[in-house]
C-alpha cells in the first residue's frame, strides 16, 4: 500500500470529499480535500439507479474504495462528504431505496448526473442551458430566476437522441440498409468489421446489446468523417438533436449553451453550424458539480437531493395508507413521515393538488395570450393548494391557438422557483361538437393531427379533448396516444355506440363528466351512459353547480379513477362582476359563472372547494385527497408527485380544521396561501 497522501496527513481525522459520477458506461470516483482539490480518482463499471436501486452501492463503492486506495487510505464513509451523481437519478422510488441502503457517510447527497453537470457547467446560480452528451443525453436549463427545467434523459432507445448510443444505432441502421441493397460503402464495411464481417454475428448482437455497447460504435463515424457522406450526415444529425434538446429545455433560445460529456468536443464543429447560441465546452462537469455539492453545507436550491437537515411540519399527515399523526420532514423531496404526538389543533397536511383543467383564475384568462396572465393564473391557484396544473386552451382559430400556446411556452420558460408546475397543456378545443360547445367560440373543427403536432412542438400536450363522432377522431386518438398524449371524450354529441368505440380505440377518459355531452336516457344512453359503462377514468367538476351531488355519487360508484378538475375561469377568486373567457363575456354571480345566454361558463371554484365538497359527501380524508392529487398524477404518469411519500416531490398543502388552505409548498419552497 502507498504511503498516505501529504494532504491526508493534516486532515486524517477531518472530512474529505467524495464525488461519484456513475454513468451508464462507467463510474468515476474522485477523492478531494475539504477545499475541493482533487487527491485521486478511479474508474469502474457503469451504473443506473433506475435499474439497480439499493444495489447501486455494490457497483459504485468498489470504485470509491479504489480512489481512496490510490492515496493509501481505506474507505471510511463517516469521514466523507459524498455526492453520488448517477444516471437515472430522477427515479424517485429507486432513489429512496438507494438512500435507505447507503453507508453512513458523514453527509450524503444523491442527485441525477444531469443536475450535477448543470452545477459543474454553470455553478450554483448562473443562468444557462446545459446539454450532457455521453452514452445518453439530457438537458437542464436554469432561468435567470433560478428555476430549473429538464428535457430528455428518457433512456435508450426511446430517447437519448444525439448521444453515443444513438449514433451507434444510426450506424447499425445504415449498415443494415446497405446490406439489404448489397451496396456496402466504407461506413457499412467499418461497422461490419466490428463483427468480423459477419452479418449473422451482428444480428445475434442486436437483442443483447446495451446502450453502452451501441456507444462503442460511435467512434467509427468520427474516424470516417473526413470522407464526408453518411458519417458526416449522422454526426450533423446528432448535433441537431442536441440543439433540439437545448431548445426543449429553454424554448426562449436566449440562454447560453454549455455542452459536456465525451461527445461535447468532438461534436463542436457541427454544433456551431446548427445553433446561434454561444457555446462553451466544459470537461468533467459531473465531477465538478458533484464536488461542489459535496462541499456545500446544504444542497443548491436548483438540485433536488436527499440530504440531512430538513424542514418539518407537525400535524395530521395524509398518506396513501391513511392519516398519520406526527412530523413530516422534507427538503425539495419528502424525507419521511415520523409518527409522534401532536397538538389537538394540529393542521391537516396533504399532498399538493393537481388540476388538469384550468382556464384562468384570480382575474386572469389563459386565452388572453399573455404570459403574465398564465403565470398569474398559476399564482392564484397555488394559494388554493394547486402545485401542478395544466393551462387549458379552448376553441379558437388555428393561428390564435398557436399564439395562446406560445404565451404558455413563454410563461413556462420564465417560471420561477416555487411556482406551481405547469406540466404541459390541455387542448380542450377546437375538435368539439358545434352543438355541445357550451361557451366555446364558433371555430370548431374536425380533428387534425397537423394542428395537434404544431401545438405539441410548442408546449407538451398532456391532455387532448375531442368529440368522438367527428371525422378523423379515432385516427387522431391513436396518433396522440403514440405521442404520449391523453385523449378525452368531451363537448360531444356522440351516440352510445360512437362513444363506446372511442373507449375501445384507446380513449383515456372524459372531460368534465355530465357537462357538454349527450345525456343518459333509457333508450339512448349517450356519452354519459358510455362513460359510466366503459370509462375507468374521468374528470368531474365537483362544485355542486355543474354536477348535482347525487350524480357525483353515481359516478363515484361506477368510475374507479374519477378525479376532480376545477375548470376555473378568470372569475375564480374574484368578486361578482363581468369577466372574459377567450373573448366571450361571462358574468359571476355568487358561486355561478354564466354567459350572456345564462349557460354555465366554467367554474369559480378552485380545487380546494372540490376537496371540501367530497368530504361533505362522506368521503374519507384519504379518498378525497387522492381524487385531487394521486389520481390526476397517475393519469399523467407523474410518478414523482401526488402523495406524501419518501423520495417524492415536497409538494405540500397545509389546511386548518375546517379545510381552508393555510400554507402551500412547491418542491419544499413555501408560498403564501390566500
The whole-model pTM stands at: 0.60
Distances (CA, A) of 320 to 306, 385, 621: 21, 18, 10
Please determine, for residue 517, whether its predicted confidence score (pLDDT) is greater than 50: yes
Mean pLDDT of 284-292: 84
How confident is the model at residue 82, as a pLDDT? 87
More confident residue, 304 or 421: 421
How confident is the model at residue 94, as a pLDDT? 59
Domains belonging to the chain, first-starting first, are 6-113+286-295 (3.30.420.40), 129-280 (3.30.420.40), 352-639 (3.20.20.140)
| Strand extents, DSSP E, 254-404 | 257-260, 279-282, 311-319, 322-330, 334-339, 348-351, 353-358, 360-361, 364-365, 386-393
Q: Which residues contact 181 (CB under 8 A, 6 or more apart)?
A: none
- Each residue's pLDDT tens digit, 53-67: 667 788 888 888 888
Please determine, for residue 15, whether its predicted confidence score (pLDDT) is greater than 50: yes
Please determine, for residue 391, whether its predicted confidence score (pLDDT) is greater than 90: yes
Q: What is the average pLDDT score of the chain?
A: 86
Mean pLDDT of 274-283: 77
**pLDDT over 70, % of the chain:** 92
Please determine, for residue 651, whether its predicted confidence score (pLDDT) is greater than 60: yes
Among candidate residues 387, 288, 290, the one with its CA nearest the CA of residue 332: 387
Please determine, for residue 519, whether its predicted confidence score (pLDDT) is greater than 50: yes
**pLDDT over 90, % of the chain:** 47
How confident is the model at residue 228, as a pLDDT? 64
How confident is the model at residue 299, as a pLDDT? 35
- Each residue's pLDDT tens digit, 207-264: 888 888 899 898 998 888 776 678 888 988 898 898 888 888 888 777 888 888 888 8
How confident is the model at residue 569, as a pLDDT? 95
- Each residue's pLDDT tens digit, 540-591: 999 999 999 999 999 999 999 999 999 999 999 999 999 999 888 899 998 8
More confident residue, 323 or 182: 323
Between strands 561-565 and 537-541, the pairing is parallel
Q: How confident is the model at residue 297 (pLDDT cuts 50, 70, 90)?
A: very low
Neighbours of 183 (CB within 10 A): 9
Please determine, for residue 653, whether its predicted confidence score (pLDDT) is greater than 70: yes
Please determine, for residue 670, whether its predicted confidence score (pLDDT) is greater than 90: no
Q: How confident is the model at residue 3 (pLDDT cuts 50, 70, 90)?
A: very low
Q: How confident is the model at residue 287 (pLDDT cuts 50, 70, 90)?
A: confident
How confident is the model at residue 227, as a pLDDT? 60
How confident is the model at residue 52, as a pLDDT? 60
How confident is the model at residue 46, as a pLDDT? 72
Mean pLDDT of 491-503: 95
How confident is the model at residue 301, as a pLDDT? 30
How confident is the model at residue 11, as a pLDDT? 37
Neighbours of 301 (CB within 10 A): 18
Q: How confident is the model at residue 526 (pLDDT cuts 50, 70, 90)?
A: very high
Q: How confident is the model at residue 303 (pLDDT cuts 50, 70, 90)?
A: very low
- Crossing angle, helix 264-274 and helix 230-249, to 10 degrees? 80
Which residue numbers are catalytic?
567
Mean pLDDT of 188-201: 89
For residues 536 and 560, is the Cβ–Cβ distance under 8 A?
Answer: yes
Residue 632 has which C-alpha cell?
A: 390526476
- Each residue's pLDDT tens digit, 42-98: 888 776 655 566 677 888 888 888 888 888 887 777 778 888 887 765 556 656 667
Amino acid at each position: 500500500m502507498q504511503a498516505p497522501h501529504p494532504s491526508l496527513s493534516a486532515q486524517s481525522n477531518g472530512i474529505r470529499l467524495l464525488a461519484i459520477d456513475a454513468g451508464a458506461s462507467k463510474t468515476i470516483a474522485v477523492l478531494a480535500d475539504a477545499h475541493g482539490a482533487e487527491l485521486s480518482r478511479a474508474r469502474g463499471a457503469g451504473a443506473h439507479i433506475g435499474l439497480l436501486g439499493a444495489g447501486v452501492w455494490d457497483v459504485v463503492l468498489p470504485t470509491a474504495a479504489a480512489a481512496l486506495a490510490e492515496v493509501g487510505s481505506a474507505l471510511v464513509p463517516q469521514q466523507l462528504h459524498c455526492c453520488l451523481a448517477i444516471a437515472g437519478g430522477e427515479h424517485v422510488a429507486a432513489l429512496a431505496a438507494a438512500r435507505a441502503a447507503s453507508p453512513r457517510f458523514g453527509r450524503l447527497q444523491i442527485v441525477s448526473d444531469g443536475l450535477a453537470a448543470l452545477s459543474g457547467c454553470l455553478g450554483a446560480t448562473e443562468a444557462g442551458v446545459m446539454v450532457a452528451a455521453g452514452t445518453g443525453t439530457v438537458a437542464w436549463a436554469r432561468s435567470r430566476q433560478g428555476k430549473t427545467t429538464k428535457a430528455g434523459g428518457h433512456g435508450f432507445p426511446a430517447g437519448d437522441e444525439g448521444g453515443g448510443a444513438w449514433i451507434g444505432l444510426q450506424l447499425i441502421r445504415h449498415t443494415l440498409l446497405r446490406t439489404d441493397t448489397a451496396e456496402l460503402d466504407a461506413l457499412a464495411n467499418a461497422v461490419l468489421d466490428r463483427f468480423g464481417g459477419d452479418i449473422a454475428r451482428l444480428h445475434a448482437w442486436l437483442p443483447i446489446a446495451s446502450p453502452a455497447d451501441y456507444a462503442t460504435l460511435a467512434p467509427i463515424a468520427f474516424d470516417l468523417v473526413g470522407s464526408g457522406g453518411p458519417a458526416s450526415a449522422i454526426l450533423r444529425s446528432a448535433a441537431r438533436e442536441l440543439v433540439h434538446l437545448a431548445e426543449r429545455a429553454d424554448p426562449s433560445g436566449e440562454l447560453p449553451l454549455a455542452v459536456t460529456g465525451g461527445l461535447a468536443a468532438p461534436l463542436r464543429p457541427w454544433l456551431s453550424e446548427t445553433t446561434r447560441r454561444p457555446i462553451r465546452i466544459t470537461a468533467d462537469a459531473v465531477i465538478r458539480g458533484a464536488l461542489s455539492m459535496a462541499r456545500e453545507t446544504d444542497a443548491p436550491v436548483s438540485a433536488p437531493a436527499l440530504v440531512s437537515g430538513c424542514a418539518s411540519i407537525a400535524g395530521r399527515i395524509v398518506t396513501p395508507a391513511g392519516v398519520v399523526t406526527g412530523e413530516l420532514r422534507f427538503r425539495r423531496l419528502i424525507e419521511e413521515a415520523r409518527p409522534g404526538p401532536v397538538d389537538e389543533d394540529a393542521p391537516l397536511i396533504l399532498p399538493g393538488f393537481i388540476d388538469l383543467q384550468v382556464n384562468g383564475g384570480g382575474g386572469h384568462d389563459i386565452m388572453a395570450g399573455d404570459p403574465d396572465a398564465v403565470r398569474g393564473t398559476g399564482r392564484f391557484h397555488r394559494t388554493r393548494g394547486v402545485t401542478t396544473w395544466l393551462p387549458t386552451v379552448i376553441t379558437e382559430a388555428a393561428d390564435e391557438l398557436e399564439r395562446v400556446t406560445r404565451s404558455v411556452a413563454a410563461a413556462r420558460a420564465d417560471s420561477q422557483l416555487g411556482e406551481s408546475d405547469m406540466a404541459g397543456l390541455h387542448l380542450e378545443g377546437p375538435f368539439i361538437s358545434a352543438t355541445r360547445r357550451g361557451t366555446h367560440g364558433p371555430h370548431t373543427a374536425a380533428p387534425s393531427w397537423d394542428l395537434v403536432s404544431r401545438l405539441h412542438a410548442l408546449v407538451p400536450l398532456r391532455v387532448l379533448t375531442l368529440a368522438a363522432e367527428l371525422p378523423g377522431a379515432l385516427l387522431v386518438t391513436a396518433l396522440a396516444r403514440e405521442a404520449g398524449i391523453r385523449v378525452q371524450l368531451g363537448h360531444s354529441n356522440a351516440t352510445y355506440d360512437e362513444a363506446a368505440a372511442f373507449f375501445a380505440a384507446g380513449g383515456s377518459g372524459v372531460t368534465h363528466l355530465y357537462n357538454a355531452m349527450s345525456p343518459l336516457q333509457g333508450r339512448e344512453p349517450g356519452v354519459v351512459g358510455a362513460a359510466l359503462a366503459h370509462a375507468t377514468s374521468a374528470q368531474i367538476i365537483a362544485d355542486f353547480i355543474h354536477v348535482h351531488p347525487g350524480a357525483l355519487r353515481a359516478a363515484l360508484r361506477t368510475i374507479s379513477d374519477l378525479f376532480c378538475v376545477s375548470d376555473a375561469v378568470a372569475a375564480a377568486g374574484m368578486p361578482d362582476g363581468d369577466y372574459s373567457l377567450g373573448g366571450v363575456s361571462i358574468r359571476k354571480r355568487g358561486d355561478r359563472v354564466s354567459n350572456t345566454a345564462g349557460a354555465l361558463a366554467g367554474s369559480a371554484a378552485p380545487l380546494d372547494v372540490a376537496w371540501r365538497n367530497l368530504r361533505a359527501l362522506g368521503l374519507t380524508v384519504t379518498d378525497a385527497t387522492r381524487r385531487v392529487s394521486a389520481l390526476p398524477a397517475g393519469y399523467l404518469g407523474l410518478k414523482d408527485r401526488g402523495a406524501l411519500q419518501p423520495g417524492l416531490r415536497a409538494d405540500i398543502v397545509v389546511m386548518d380544521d375546517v379545510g381552508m388552505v393555510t400554507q402551500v409548498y412547491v418542491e419544499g419552497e413555501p408560498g403564501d396561501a390566500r
